[in-house]
Amino acid sequence: MSDRDEAKPRLATRAVRSGQRRTPEQEQSEPMFVSSSFTFESAEQAAARFAGEEPGNIYSRFTNPTVRTFEERLASMEGGEACVGTASGMSAILSTCMALLNAGDHIVSSGGIFGATASLFSNHLSRFGLETSFVPLTDYAAWEAAIRPETRMLFLETPSNPLTEVADIRAIADIAERHGCLLVVDNCFCSPALQRPLELGADIVVHSATKYLDGQGRCVGGAVVGDAERVGRSVFSFLRTAGPAMSPFNAWVFLKGLETLKLRMRAHSENAQQVAEWLVNQPDVTRVNYPGLPEHPQHELAMRQQSGFGGIVSFRVAGERPAAWRFVNGTELMSITANLGDAKSTLTHPASTTHGRNTPEQREAAGVTEDMLRLSVGLEDPQDIIDDLERGLRAMRA
């Protein structure tokens, strides 16, 4: 055993062990440091900490030991050099853009992204001289054609929300590299348990920790993972100054979530596969989107790129908005909520909720139709989830 690096722990082990530094109290579980600031031994030490000459805690807007443990654990799971925890998934995306782009820069983004991300790009960043072009996720020629001399960032989610389209991360990373752009991937749907975009050539991974990293619907948070220069220095510097910080309580909850992430993602994937296969055979379901179905257009790619298909299934029903709403109202077990990635199954009508504030053009680009429902398959017994979908279908027909 001459080379300790060869014995680098595997993902499930890093999910449980990485980032922990025991205090002299010798605690087994990670402690929660609920302290807004930290004290110094002397004026000299205070000055050295503020000057960055000595590492250590200063103030929880940017240095909190519980948040740091979460950051180190997630960085090791994604295979990044650095991670910055943020107050939400949206502030992770905002911090990435604010830290790494300048006025006049151009973003090319998949159209099939989270509704608030599309709104951030189109309605907010646009006012500060950052223009965004939207392209279809899997149309690689369209990505290439949308790139201009001032393009600095390509942004995508895969699988996409709510269509579950799967993009070839390596192919888009190649396009980004050829044009000197950064590739940012929102890895919310798969989590590092099922997909690691940095290993496929992405520069930066962003997360809504609110979803699977927590996994039990408790806390809002986010993270940016990447290299030491862009994330460890630039994104960190933006966070330190602008302050969209993760709370230590939330970081502690996410740490505990990471410990069971791999097990949960496997169970979500198994349940979702059963539910999707059942939905396909229902006469009033006109389409089912799930990468684990052989008829999914990118099923082969998903098998190569992901180690599981995840928990999100979307489907279209016979009828328009009233039919979709009758379906939702007819269910009893599933929670009617727009959140996803929870142990509890959740059901939402994207056109009137997550994508309700987008323009009709944005909805069309995201493939969000009035007859579509999105199901985040939880950890209940899959037969009970199927029974509940059956109740929804009956109410829809009535």
Ligand X SMILES: *Cc1c(COP(=O)(O)O)cnc(C)c1O
List interacting residues with ligand X (CB under 6 A): 88-90, 114, 116-117, 157, 161, 186, 188, 208, 210-211, 220, 222
Terminal alpha carbon distance of the chain: 69
For residues 156 and 172, the answer to whether their CB atoms sit within 8 Å is yes
H runs (alpha helix) in 101-233? 115-119, 140-146, 169-178, 191-194
Q: Would you say 191 or 208 has its CB closer to ligand X?
A: 208
**Closest-CB residue for ligand X?**
89
For residue 297, whether the previous peptide bond is cis, meaning omega lies within 30 degrees of 0, is no
- Distance separating alpha carbons of residues 302 and 296, to the nearest angstrom: 9
Q: Which one, 18 or 86, has the nearer CB to ligand X?
A: 86
Q: How far apart are CA 216 and CA 218, in angstroms?
A: 6
CA angle 33, 13, 4 (to 5 degrees): 105
Phi, psi dihedral angles at 226 (to 5 degrees): 180, -145
Q: Which is nearer to ligand X, 96 or 298 (CB)?
A: 96
Taking the complex as a whole, the smallest distance from the CB of residue 157 to ligand X amounts, in Å, to 5
| Least distance CB 329 / ligand X (angstroms) | 24
Q: ∠ CA(210), CA(346), CA(349), 5° rounding? A: 105
C-beta of 285 vs 309, nearer to ligand X:
309
The nearest distance, CB 24 to ligand X, in angstroms, is 35
Q: What is the closest distance, in whole angstroms, from the C-beta atom of residue 209 to ligand X in the complex?
A: 7
Between 64 and 210, whose beta carbon lies closer to ligand X?
A: 210
- Give the list of residues 6+ apart from residue 305 with CB closer than 8 angstroms, or none: 158, 166, 168, 169, 195, 200
Instruction: Tell me how far apart the alpha carbons of residues 226 and 246 are, in angstroms, rounded to a whole number.
Output: 18
Query: Crossing angle of helices 382-397/261-280, nearest 10°?
Result: 40
Q: Judged by CB, which is closer to ligand X: 282, or 353?
A: 353
Q: Give Cα separations from 127 to 24, 99, 104, 130, 276 (angstroms).
A: 50, 16, 11, 7, 41
Whole-number minimum distance, CB 220 to ligand X, in Å?
A: 5
What's the min distance (Å) between Cβ of 165 and ligand X?
13
Q: Are 375 and 334 in contact (CB under 8 A)?
A: yes
User: Residue 159 CB, nearest distance to ligand X (Å)?
Assistant: 10
Query: Closest CB to ligand X among 235 and 396?
Result: 235
Query: Distance between CA atoms of 272 and 375, rounded to whole angstroms?
Result: 9
Residue 185 or 393 having the CB closest to ligand X: 185
- Count CA within 13 A, CB hemisphere, residue 316: 14
Compare residues 138 and 208 and give the one whose CB is closer to ligand X. Answer: 208
Residue 312 CB, nearest distance to ligand X (Å)? Answer: 9
Q: Map residue 348 onto helix, strand or coil.
A: strand
In whole angstroms, give the CA distance from residue 334 to residue 291: 22
Task: Considering the complex, state which of residue 100 and residue 113 has its C-beta at the smaller distance from ligand X.
Answer: 113
Report in angstroms how near the CB of residue 19 gets to ligand X at its nearest: 21
Least distance from C-beta 104 to ligand X, angstroms? Answer: 25
